[in-house]
Amino acid sequence: MKACVFFLYLLALSVHYKPVFAATFQMPPTPGDTVIIQYPDGVALTKAQQNETLLDVARRFLLGQTEIVRLNPDLDRWLVRKGEVVRLPNKRILPDTPHNGITLNLPEFRMYVYPPDQPGTVLSFAHGVGRQDWKTPLGQTKVTKKVKDPYWYPPESIRREHAAMGDPLPAVVPPGPNNPLGAYALHLALPGEYRIHGTDIDKIYGIGMQITHGCVRMYPENIAQLYRVIPVGTPVYIVKQPIKVGWLDNVLYIEAHPDLEGEDIGSSERYSIALALIQKANNGEMPDFDQRALNDALSKLDGNPQPLYERLPPLDNPLENVTAESQLLPVKTEAKTPTRAKPATQPSVKIPAPKPPAAKRTASPSGYYRGDL
């Protein structure tokens, strides 16, 4: 029966999962939830209509190359045969930053945009970042200038690098299909001419990789959309959060990505960071979570959010059934709190008291939002 349902589901893929300019999400209805879903009807899949590469699929759905390769470890990056099923991302956990402006999470090769004129909407775009010897800087900055059809003035260091490889660059590259900045550029308030920009036709398959000289590179369709919705002065948060946790409908999820090239923190430290984030998300108390799910997420590092723990939903109104007579009697002011909760795949466990009002954001592990620089 399951095989039959799965087959029918695959037949409908071409209808449900057509490419779009950007992954568009709605913020969860429950305050404090930070897991967003693109395709609410289930796991996102597509089927190859012809022999192609995973890069072709990524380009069609405006995904990053690293992102789609991680999700499909059993497929050949360079040959997806006609009829083979390719997995697409669906759920994502928002980075631990303010929900306004632009957030760039470097290990994820993805940005999250909160359009000022679309409250409750989140746009998400794949992007490339600086390679190991030309790192994209971390911290809070802002968009200082927007330029359409930019000229590129290659820095002397980049000109020397290209000359050494037998590919000399001119002093000025005019607008056009071979301009590495693409058709649009957003300048950032950082020393060194850092920008969020498009790409030229030769580097379009480098989106979602650690490949630039420090700037943030996007697909042509995506940078055009970002250019339209983001005004000058928009805050930009550049963070390094390979591990994220978040709630959705009283279920706690974890999402894990590999570190950037040359920055492997090791499995032990990765595990410690994950535990700290889980405890922080659960009001400072460590829940009895699904250990197997955590180990699976930290070993695969495929960016697919895994459910770890399910808590009891809060009572809507614990006093709604109190009668008028009972209100005349002395009552205790301390309400009983639930003592049993159901983990995602384990027996019931003890949970903490109901969640108090959100406290002011404090410093968190390195790479996580710390406020203004």
More confident site: 160 or 335: 160
From the list 212, 30, 36, 41, the residue with the least C-alpha distance to 114 is 36
pLDDT at 300 over 90: yes
Of 289, 281, 307, 306, which Cα lies nearest the Cα of 349?
A: 289
Dihedral in degrees, nearest 10, Cα atoms 220, 223, 227, 230: 160
- Quote the crossing angle between the two packed helices 291-300 and 267-281, to the nearest 10°: 130
Query: Does 31 or 355 have the greater pLDDT score?
Result: 31
pLDDT at 241: 95
Which stretches does DSSP call E strand in 149-242?
184-188, 195-197, 210-212, 216-217, 235-239
Beta bridge partners of 217: 128, 197
Q: Higher model confidence: residue 231 or residue 211?
A: 231
Would you list the domain boundaries of the chain?
A: 2-239, 244-314+338-356
Percent with pLDDT over 90 in the chain? 53
Q: Is 4 designated active site?
A: no
If you search the block for the tokens 């300019």, which residue do you land on?
21
Architecture of domain 2-239: Beta Barrel (2.40)
Point out the catalytic residue in the list 127, 187, 213, 215. Answer: 215
Number of residues that this document lists for the chain: 373
User: Annotated catalytic residue: which of 187, 197, 213, 257?
Assistant: 197
DSSP-derived letter for residue 349 is B
Query: What integer is the mean pLDDT of 111-133?
Result: 86
Active-site annotation holds for 197:
yes
**Residue 160, number of CB atoms within 10 A of its CB:** 13
pTM here is: 0.77
Give every strand in the sheet of 251-256, ordered side by side.
243-248, 251-256, 306-310
- Kindly tell me if the per-residue pLDDT of 364 is higher than 60: no
Distance CA 215, CA 182 (A): 12
pLDDT grade for 37, boundaries at 50, 70 and 90: very high
Q: Look at residues 218, 192, 234 and name the one whose alpha carbon lies nearest to residue 109.
A: 218
Beta strands of 32-83 (E only): which ranges?
35-37, 45-47
Q: Find out whether 187 and 144 touch, Cβ atoms under 8 Å.
A: yes
What is the pLDDT, as a whole number, of residue 358? Answer: 42
Task: With residue 2 as reference, give the H or E element that holds it.
Answer: helix 2-11
